[in-house]
Amino acid sequence: MAVTRLGFFAALCFIGLSATFASPNSRIIGGWDVVSGEQPWVASIRVDNAHVCTGTIICKKRILTAAHCVSQLGTTPIDAKRITVRIGSVNQYAGGEIREIEEVRIHPSYGNFLHDVALLFFTESLEFNDKYNKIWFAGADDVIEDRASVTVAGWGLLSTGATPYKLQETKMTVLSAPECEYEAGYGYESILCLQHPVNEGICRGDDGAGVYVDGILYGVISFAFGSCGTKYPDIASKVSYYEEWINNNH
C-alpha cells in the first residue's frame, strides 16, 4: 500500500477511474494473504462491477469507506445504483455475496482529502455469520497510542504492479501529529499518520480500508504521498474524530 510528499496536494498522484471518478495512488505492498474468515468485516467496494476501494462493515446496514471512493464531485456522491459490495470472501473476484447499495452519504466537510469518510447503506440488512460480520469502531474514549502497531487489509496493487485476487494485509506504526508534520507536513487532528518501511504500504485499491487493532477500527485509509512504497507515511482518517457523525447517520 503507498503515495509521496513532493509539495503537498500538488504531489498527489491521481488514477482516473472514469470521467467523474478519480482516486489517489494507494496499495498494500509487502503484505501477506489474509486467511478466509479472519477479518470478516472487510469488503470490496465495486463501481460498475469493478473493485475500486476497500470498506469496513460497522453494522448490519452500513459500511464505512473513504469519501473519494464514492464522490462524483466534492460531497456529491456517485449514483448508488452503480455501487455494489462483495462481502464474506477474501477473493475480490469470487465467493461470498454481492450486495447492492441504496444510499451513499459523504461527510459534509469532505474536501482535498480531509474528512475523507463516507457511509454506504445496504438495500437489505445483513445477517451476520462466520464469513461476514461487523467490527467495533473507535469512539472518543478509545485512544490509540503513538507508535502503536496497526493492521490494514485491502486488495490494492502488489509490488509487481499486479492486482491481487486475495485480500492482503500489512502492519504499520502510528506516528504522533508532530512527527507527521515533520515527516509529511500533515499533522491534522482528524487523521492518523502511518509509518511503514520503504517498498511497503498502501496503493490503488486499498483506499477506504480499515486501520484496526484488536478488533477495533481506528482509521479509514485516505491516501499516500507520491508513488507507492516511498519513505513517506500513509494517511488515514481517524474514526473517533467522526464518532458523532457516524452515530447520527444510521
107 and 58 within one domain: yes
Q: How many domains does the chain have?
A: 2
149 and 108 within one domain: no
162 and 129 within one domain: no
233 and 154 within one domain: yes
Predicted local confidence at residue 158, as pLDDT? 75
Is there a contact between 228 and 29 (Cβ–Cβ < 8 Å)? yes
Q: Are strands 191-195 and 97-106 parallel, antiparallel or unpaired?
A: unpaired
- Identify the domain containing residue 128 by its residue range: 42-134+244-248
Predicted local confidence at residue 15, as pLDDT? 29
- Locate all alpha helices (DSSP H) within the chain, ordered by sequence: 177-184, 243-248
- Is residue 3, in this structure, part of any structural domain at all? no
Predicted local confidence at residue 174, as pLDDT? 96
- Is residue 2, in this structure, part of any structural domain at all? no
- Measured CA to CA, the distance from residue 109 to residue 115 in angstroms comes to 6
Q: CATH number, domain at 123? A: 2.40.10.10
119, three cell numbers? 457511509
Q: How many CB atoms are located within 10 Å of the residue 61 CB?
A: 17
204 and 149 within one domain: yes
- Is residue 234, in this structure, part of any structural domain at all? yes
Q: Supply the DSSP symbol for 75.
A: T
- Is residue 161, in this structure, part of any structural domain at all? yes
- Is residue 193, in this structure, part of any structural domain at all? yes
118, three cell numbers? 463516507
187 and 141 within one domain: yes
124 and 106 within one domain: yes
149 and 29 within one domain: yes
230 and 219 within one domain: yes
- Measured CA to CA, the distance from residue 137 to residue 240 in angstroms comes to 8
Q: What is the pTM of this model?
A: 0.86
Q: What are phi and psi of 240, to 5 degrees?
A: -60, -30
- Is residue 64, in this structure, part of any structural domain at all? yes
Residues of the chain whose pLDDT is less than 50? 1-27, 29
156 and 114 within one domain: no
